[in-house]
Structure 1
Amino acid sequence: MDGFAVVDTETTGIDAAHRHRIAEVAVVHLDRDGAVTGEWSTLLNPERDLGPQAIHQITAAEARQAPRFADIAGDLVDRLRGRVVVAHNWPFDAMHLRAEFTRIGLDTPFDDLAGLCTMRAASVVMPHSRRSLLACCTTAGLPAMRWHTARDDAMAAGALLGHMLASAPDAVQPTAEQLRAAAWAWPDLPRDRVAPAHRRPADHVEPHFLARLVEHLPRDEEPAVDAYFAVLDDALLDRRVSASDADALVDVATRLGLRRTDVLAIHHTYLRALVDAAGEMGERERADIALVARLLGITPDAIGAPVALDRAPTIGGLVLHPGDKIVLTGMMTNDRDVLTARAAAAGLRVMTTVSRLTRVVAAADPDTMSRKADSARALGVPVVDEAAFVRALAALEG
């Protein structure tokens, strides 16, 4: 064998049989003595909702632009070929890798005995440790990592393997099954088709979408401002501009031949319409308009008009009415059954599929790639986050 390939996956759920997918994969190479000789990782577009984002912290804005598994299969195979595969709780990673390769028509040797499991080995070497990767590494005296990222979890599992190779080599000697898997005759697949995609740094700040407008396109007609306003209405339903919203706004502006300066002027007009509806307004509404101003790239001081409302603004805010059809998607913070019951009690019609008559789709992450959200975008139905939906539901409940 050529050494070890330590793998880790972050997934959209625990059961590959229920359509859960890999959202991030990493491979760390170790030589026979446990020294790290290389590493590789990438986010993946799972083409579905991302599931437990509170655990893996992968956002839909990151995953939606990542490669699909089929795009990187050749790169992954090249990093597994000739090596004993290793993972902490190998059967879990084996199940998901096997399912992904099966989807692209490729057989694998990845049964539950084909990989060296550091969790199982650690139960022999350090029987008093709990079974998690964090607990095993702590017991072994290894440094903390950024847990629940595929790259760092793979590095941590590799460090744990290196520790056991040095302290208890008999517990981690490859078995005949593992050596047979290492010698598997993988087919030659295309490599380097796409670049790996990585997580954004924790302190990453996404540039405002106005900065992404194509400035060199000339104006060839008067812009259809109402068309842009309609997109902007939906974008501001939940008082945020998600990555999908920003893409839609940039696309509309570009198709209309609008330059950055044109769009900024339109945003001022939009905000003025919001303020012109003003009567008397409290601090909450004032903060709301200031937030919309910031989302539009306008400083609150530039509003230049009395900030007062005699009624809540409907522009840029989600308002629900009895009889509205709504759809829920994704793993939400609130219990889905409770939200459904509240919505039904308030007179909303909770549907399982999206149609042109759907008022709104509420998602755990508004950039989700779930089928429901994809259908909503295709039909022009707004997709808002859970917090915006809960606020609108509370207002309807009175």
Structure 2
Amino acid sequence: MEALGTVLVAHNLSFDARFLETEFRNTSVPVPVDFLDQGICTMRMSHRYLQGAGRSLQDCCDSFGIELQNSHSAAGDAAATAVLLARYMELDPDEREWDTKLQFASAAAWFSSEPQNRIVPVIRQSTSKKPTEHFLEKLAGELPEFLGTGSEENYLALLDLALMDRYLSAHEESQLIQAAQEIGLDKDRALALHKIYFQQLVDTACSDGILTDEEIKDLEKVITLLGLPQTLIDSVRDRPAEFESNKRPPLGHQSAGIAPGSLVVLTGDMSQPRSDIEAKLSSAGYTPHRAITKKVALLVAADPDSLSGKAKKARDYGIPVVGEDYLWKTLL
């Protein structure tokens, strides 16, 4: 049994790699270390291609308008991660890493014997009923970019998953402790990361200028789960007013600021082929872009009231969202 030309790709690779390694070891055929080390982590790559984006798969997919179906399921997340990688490669087709990874993989082989043990797969039950999105799940999908070390970001990504239901199980606590030990976190640094995580939740919750009683109660629960002082909640109540005053001005006050060279993103079906419009934007001195990042100056949408991932991400960043008429009347 061989695996030639295969590159492992995952969102938060170091987390998923541990599960792969364990499952293959149960078959008495461990995964070669090189296979894991030469993998690609789309979460870490987001810092290169999606400056300002959060670490969640949903957040990165929203930046490209990628539909994430059945999130947190193996098949759904894998399919979305594959599309996300393809978008990275479209943004940077000349990146040598793509070829380097494939060349390394094509020269490597796993093993030639069949697994000694057979593990009965666990089939996850499917349901047609979509669960109601909880406040913490919404926040975890919108957290700002974290610029610490890769290992620390992996730890925070584990917190995203563990705190989704506002309950830390013994298994989740064990995973967090193992992750902390692997990256050499002592208690003080772990608490510092917990405080950073909590402040990110607060910033995101307050970004709309409103902090409801339900949100405050949930933040109080997070404080307890993270082992932080309860006094932190006292400083939260005044945050919405601060964020309201720091919001970006509406388009009417800054349309003249869409300067030549600015990044402009298109979404939806326009009256002309997207490639033609992008060519005209380039001729007019603007820079067409395929993903929403904090460096983007304008999102032109076929439907300015769109609730698509790109439009949602643009509004989260305070980027103006305009209709196609604005494109022809003002920019071109």
TM-score per shorter chain, which class? 0.3 to 0.5
Structure with more of its chain in strand, by fraction: 1
| TM-score relative to the length of structure 2 | 0.33
Structure with more of its chain in helix, by fraction: 2
| TM-score relative to the length of structure 1 | 0.28
| Structure exhibiting the larger radius of gyration computed from Cα positions | 1
